[in-house]
């Protein structure tokens, strides 16, 4: 995540008012789906040749039809005005992480050499919950670059339990003597 996206997300999260963060997050995710499903919308919002007033009218109409909160609408308009629509996914992820953190949930990624079963991912999540004291939600991925073992990533923190990392550690121990 970029520092800019984290700042935007923190600012959005700290806005006082009625909307529940989960409701705002739902609006952000809906808008993200629109950007993914309608490349012409994304292209128009990114196009510096289209006046902001026209972009604003389109966003307001879409947001009204989807019953966006006023906070979510203002955030979308700020992102459009500041020409950062290409970072939408990062904004949403940063905001989701803040929402999760407030509920004691840590989201992470586990990378392995082979596909992990759902049961293995669940057991790993449960064990990490015991160690970390927070509910853990893992997104499992496969990487052909790993020979074996696992890599865990929570934000910018990486726990490397791969075979390559173990071999490097062993090599470093031998070199030091």
Residue 145: pLDDT above 80?
yes
Question: Between vectors from CA 100 to CA 59 and to CA 112, what angle results, nearest 5°?
Answer: 105
Query: Is the pLDDT confidence value at 126 over 80?
Result: yes
Q: Which residue has the higher pLDDT, 27 or 169?
A: 27
Run of H or E residues at 82: none
> pLDDT tens for residues 62-117?
999 999 999 999 999 999 999 999 999 999 999 998 888 888 888 889 999 899 99
Please give the domain boundaries of the chain with CATH numbers for all domains: 3-100 (1.10.520), 105-176 (no CATH)
* CA 44 to chain CA centroid, nearest Å: 24
Q: What pLDDT, on the 0 to 100 scale, is given for residue 149?
A: 86
Mean pLDDT of the chain: 90
pTM of the model: 0.70
124-130: which pairs have CB atoms within 8 A and are 24 or more residues apart? 124/150, 128/152
User: Do residues 17 and 71 lie in contact, with contact meaning Cβ atoms separated by under 8 Å?
Assistant: yes
Q: Rounded distance, CA 24 to CA 52, Å?
A: 23
**How many other C-beta atoms lie within 10 A of the C-beta of residue 102?**
11
């Amino acid at each position: 995540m970029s520092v800019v996206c984290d700042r935007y997300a923190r600012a959005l999260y700290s806005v006082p008012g009625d909307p529940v963060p989960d409701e705002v997050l739902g609006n952000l995710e809906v808008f993200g789906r629109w950007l993914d499903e309608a490349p012409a919308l994304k292209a128009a919002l990114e196009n510096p040749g289209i006046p902001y007033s026209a972009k604003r009218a389109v966003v307001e109409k879409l947001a009204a039809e989807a019953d966006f909160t006023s906070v979510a609408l203002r955030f979308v308009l700020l992102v459009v005005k500041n020409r950062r629509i290409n970072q939408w996914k990062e904004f949403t992820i940063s905001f989701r992480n803040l929402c999760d953190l407030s509920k004691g949930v840590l989201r992470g990624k586990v990378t392995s050499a082979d596909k992990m079963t759902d049961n293995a991912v669940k057991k790993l999540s449960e064990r990490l919950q015991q160690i970390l004291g927070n509910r853990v939600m893992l997104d499992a991925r496969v990487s052909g670059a790993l020979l074996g073992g696992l890599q865990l990533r929570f934000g910018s923190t990486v726990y490397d339990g791969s075979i390559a990392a173990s071999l490097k550690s062993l090599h470093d121990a031998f070199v030091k003597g």
